[in-house]
């Protein structure tokens, strides 16, 4: 995927040269005239509209680029041919974050973009850091509790909304880049799965309650590893048969810890069954097909994807497209329709 670009939408390309030149000093710039599309995979980091907004065609073009609520708060600078109250209101409704007269000097437009992109990046890293902090606190409390006997399940709640907000507003890539600096491999894995899960449910527009439920299951899914020796969890390279047998006890251990803490059935099922496969080749119960719930099917996909793309000192992370190909090749084990949807959610990542 390409990095982001400043999209300059214009209906007077013969006059856009000076503005394009100076915007290029801020970042990569894509000039879009008529129905010209940006290079495949390029996402906007800012949009400059040099369009006559009284034209229906201009409105359509701007709308197609600015999402309805512009939750990522991408800077949208509208260069206004008219600065009447009605024109300004219309620009705001179209998602403008700043309106400037069309005759504004290109250097000033570039400065505004620079300031807004900088402020957006600061907001995004703030929301990401907050999300990681809250989620790590939740995991620490839960894993410490699991090692000592039982967990205080309510600890997980404080991590859910910050994770969803971080992935939605800061972007999954920023989340992953930050999580990868975490020193504990199991926490890191749980944070990765939770972030990927958040991206998936945000992309699918689940109801807020269902989003939180799914991210809760993702955060808790490997809790049973709290009682697996660190030497096995952190062993570089392949595990032998005995070590593998020990690792494979973690879904049932996690299930039993959480059952004794009064956890809900949906989450319990996800924790116990996240290594089950549709063809019955999974564990611990060898479930087949319809015995595996939708929540579990979704979580299993997130879990495998996170494991494939994890960074480890002893091996290179698998590129996104290769990891998606591996998921697609597991067509007897994972539900193809969900894998396809998941792939779309990952390719939509900023």
- DSSP code at position 104: S
Min CB(256)–Fe ion separation in Å: 15
The answer to whether residue 335 forms part of the interface with Fe ion (CB under 5 A) is no
Min CB(244)–Fe ion separation in Å: 12
Min CB(191)–Fe ion separation in Å: 11
How is residue 203 written in tokens?
A: 């992309």
Min CB(309)–Fe ion separation in Å: 13
Number of residues counted as binding Fe ion (CB under 5 A):
2
What residue spans of 207-335 are helical by DSSP H? 208-220, 230-233, 241-247, 250-259, 265-273, 294-309, 320-329
Residues 219-258 that bind Fe ion (CB under 5 A): 222
Long-range contacts of 309-315 (CB under 8 A, 24+ apart): 309/176, 309/192, 310/188, 310/189, 310/192, 311/180, 312/185, 312/236, 313/236, 314/236, 314/237
Nearer to Fe ion, 134 or 250 (CB): 250
The answer to whether residue 303 forms part of the interface with Fe ion (CB under 5 A) is yes
- Picking from 13, 70, 69, the residue whose alpha carbon sits closest to that of residue 45 is 70
Region near Fe ion per CB under 5 A, out of 164-172, 276-284, 299-307, 336-344:
299-307
Relative to beta strand 44-50, strand 76-80 is parallel
- Picking from 160, 169, 165, 171, the residue whose alpha carbon sits closest to that of residue 134 is 160
Nearer to Fe ion, 113 or 223 (CB): 223
Min CB(80)–Fe ion separation in Å: 52
The burial of 97, by beta-carbon neighbours within 10 Å (0-12 exposed, 13-18 middle, 19 or more buried), is given as: buried
Nearer to Fe ion, 119 or 326 (CB): 326
Region near Fe ion per CB under 5 A, out of 71-79, 92-100, 283-291, 300-308:
300-308
Nearer to Fe ion, 32 or 228 (CB): 228
Residues 256-275 that bind Fe ion (CB under 5 A): none
- DSSP string of 125-186? HHHHHHHHHHHHHHHHHHHHHHHHT---GGGGHHHHHHHHHIIIII-HHHHHHHHTT-S-HH
Min CB(290)–Fe ion separation in Å: 22
Residues 184-223 that bind Fe ion (CB under 5 A): 222
Per-residue interface string for the shown chain with Fe ion, residues 46-65, x marking contact by CB under 5 A: --------------------
How is residue 148 written in tokens?
A: 């000592």
Min CB(330)–Fe ion separation in Å: 15
What is the Rg, in whole angstroms, of the alpha carbon atoms belonging to the chain? 24
The rounded distance, in Å, linking the Cα atoms of 81 and 67 is: 23
Residues 116-175 that bind Fe ion (CB under 5 A): none
Q: What are phi and psi of 49, to 5 degrees?
A: -105, 115
Nearer to Fe ion, 123 or 311 (CB): 311
Nearer to Fe ion, 272 or 350 (CB): 272
Min CB(140)–Fe ion separation in Å: 18
Give the interface with Fe ion as residue ranges (CB under 5 A).
222, 303
């Amino acid at each position: 995927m390409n990095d982001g670009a400043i999209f300059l939408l214009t209906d007077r390309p013969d006059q856009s040269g000076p503005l394009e030149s100076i915007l290029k000093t801020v970042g990569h710039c894509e000039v879009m005239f008529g129905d010209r599309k940006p290079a495949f995979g390029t996402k906007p980091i800012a949009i400059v509209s040099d369009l006559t907004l009284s034209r229906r065609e201009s409105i359509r073009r701007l709308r197609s680029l600015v999402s309805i609520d512009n939750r990522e708060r991408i800077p949208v600078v509208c260069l206004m041919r008219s600065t009447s109250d009605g024109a300004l209101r219309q620009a705001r409704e179209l998602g403008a974050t700043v309106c400037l007269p069309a005759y504004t000097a290109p250097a000033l437009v570039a400065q505004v973009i620079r300031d807004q992109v900088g402020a957006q990046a600061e907001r995004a890293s703030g929301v990401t850091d907050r999300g990681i902090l809250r989620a790590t606190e939740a995991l620490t409390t839960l894993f410490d509790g699991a090692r000592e006997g039982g967990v205080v399940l309510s600890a997980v709640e404080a991590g859910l909304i910050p994770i969803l907000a971080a992935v939605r507003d800061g972007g999954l890539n920023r989340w992953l880049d930050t999580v990868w600096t975490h020193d504990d491999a199991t926490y890191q894995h749980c944070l990765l799965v939770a972030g990927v899960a958040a991206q998936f449910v945000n992309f699918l527009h689940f109801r807020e309650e269902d989003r939180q439920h799914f991210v809760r299951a993702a955060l808790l899914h490997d809790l049973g590893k709290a009682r697996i020796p660190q030497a096995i969890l952190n062993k570089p390279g392949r595990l032998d048969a005995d070590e593998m047998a020990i690792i494979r006890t973690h879904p049932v251990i996690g299930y039993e810890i959480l059952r004794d803490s009064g956890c809900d059935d949906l989450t319990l099922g996800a924790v116990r069954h996240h290594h089950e496969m549709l063809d019955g080749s999974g564990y611990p119960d060898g479930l087949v097909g319809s015995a595996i719930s939708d929540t579990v099917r979704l979580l299993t996909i997130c879990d495998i994807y996170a494991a494939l793309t994890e960074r480890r000192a002893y091996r290179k992370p698998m590129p996104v497209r290769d990891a998606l190909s591996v998921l697609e090749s597991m067509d007897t084990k994972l539900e193809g329709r969900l894998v396809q949807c998941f792939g779309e959610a990952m390719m939509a990542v900023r």
